[in-house]
């Protein structure tokens, strides 16, 4: 049985994951407008993975016989200035999400809820990957600059990302 405190923080996290999807979709639209279709693809695939993250928590709350509470999704900030600035925003956002996941892990320990503590392990690992992905792209953008030729090559690389349903394991 999960406590109301744990249920509430998990419901909050569903909202944050769906907000993340909105944020990545806004970024995808920005890249699409710029003609950077590979960047647009990468962020759109990420948006779909964020929906999966939200749905996995949704299913967990249902499985634990608690009530899912869907909250209003904030409008994402769309003040995008360049590919590098967008990826810096992504890294900042993912670090924030990591802090939220850490809070769920800590609360589940405080509440002696080992099932939720175990459940959230997958998200802790996922966040390491999410931060690394953004950080790697920032490194490339800084190393090779945002000149047209290097942006073209990175755009081609990011175009290859394919969506695979994110399964909880
Ligand atoms: Fe679901 Fe990007 O964290």
Report how far residue 92's alpha carbon sits from residue 15's, in angstroms, rounded to the nearest whole number: 18
Mean pLDDT of all residues belonging to the chain: 96
What pLDDT, on a 0 to 100 scale, did the predictor assign at position 19? 98
What pLDDT, on a 0 to 100 scale, did the predictor assign at position 126? 96
Atom of ligand 1 nearest to the CA of 54: 1
**Ligand 1 centroid vs 149 CA: distance in angstroms?**
30
Given a cut of 90, is residue 146 above it in pLDDT?
no
Report how far residue 23's alpha carbon sits from residue 33's, in angstroms, rounded to the nearest whole number: 16
Report how far residue 148's alpha carbon sits from residue 146's, in angstroms, rounded to the nearest whole number: 6
* Cβ–Cβ < 8 Å for 138, 20: no
**Ligand 1 centroid vs 21 CA: distance in angstroms?**
8
**Ligand 1 centroid vs 127 CA: distance in angstroms?**
7
**Ligand 1 centroid vs 20 CA: distance in angstroms?**
6
Given a cut of 80, is residue 141 above it in pLDDT?
yes
88 Cβ closer than 6 Å to some ligand 1 atom: no
94 Cβ closer than 6 Å to some ligand 1 atom: yes
| Residue 143: CA count within 13 A, CB half-sphere | 7
66 vs 50, residue with greater confidence: 50
Q: What DSSP assignment string belongs to 19-60?
A: HHHHHHHHHHHHHHHHT-HHHHHHHHHHHHHHHHHHHHHHHH
* Cβ–Cβ < 8 Å for 142, 84: yes
Given a cut of 80, is residue 166 above it in pLDDT?
no
Given a cut of 80, is residue 142 above it in pLDDT?
yes
**Tens-digit pLDDT profile for residues 96-139:** 999 999 999 999 999 999 999 999 999 999 999 999 999 999 99
Report how far residue 149's alpha carbon sits from residue 168's, in angstroms, rounded to the nearest whole number: 38
Atom of ligand 1 nearest to the CA of 46: 2
Q: Kindly report whether the global pTM for this prediction surpasses the value 0.85.
A: yes
What burial class does residue 36 get, using C-beta atoms within 10 Å of its C-beta: 0-12 exposed, 13-18 middle, 19+ buried?
buried
Domains assigned to the chain: 4-159 (1.20.1260.10)
């Amino acid at each position: 049985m999960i406590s109301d405190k744990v249920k509430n923080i998990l419901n909050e996290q569903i909202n944050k994951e769906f907000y993340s999807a909105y944020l990545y979709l806004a970024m995808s639209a920005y890249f699409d407008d710029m003609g950077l279709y590979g960047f647009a693809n990468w962020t759109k695939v990420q948006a779909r993975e964020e929906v999966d993250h939200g749905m996995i928590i949704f299913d967990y709350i249902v499985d634990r016989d608690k009530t899912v509470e869907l909250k209003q999704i904030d409008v994402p900030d769309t003040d995008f200035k360049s590919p590098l600035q967008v990826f810096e925003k992504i890294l900042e956002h993912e670090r924030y999400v990591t802090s939220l996941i850490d809070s769920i892990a800590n609360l589940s320990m405080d509440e002696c809820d080992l099932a939720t503590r175990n459940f959230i392990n997958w998200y802790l690992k996922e966040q390491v990957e999410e931060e690394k992905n953004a950080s790697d792209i920032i490194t490339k953008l800084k190393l090779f600059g945002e000149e047209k030729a290097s942006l073209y090559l990175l755009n081609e690389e990011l175009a290859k990302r394919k969506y695979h349903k994110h399964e909880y394991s």
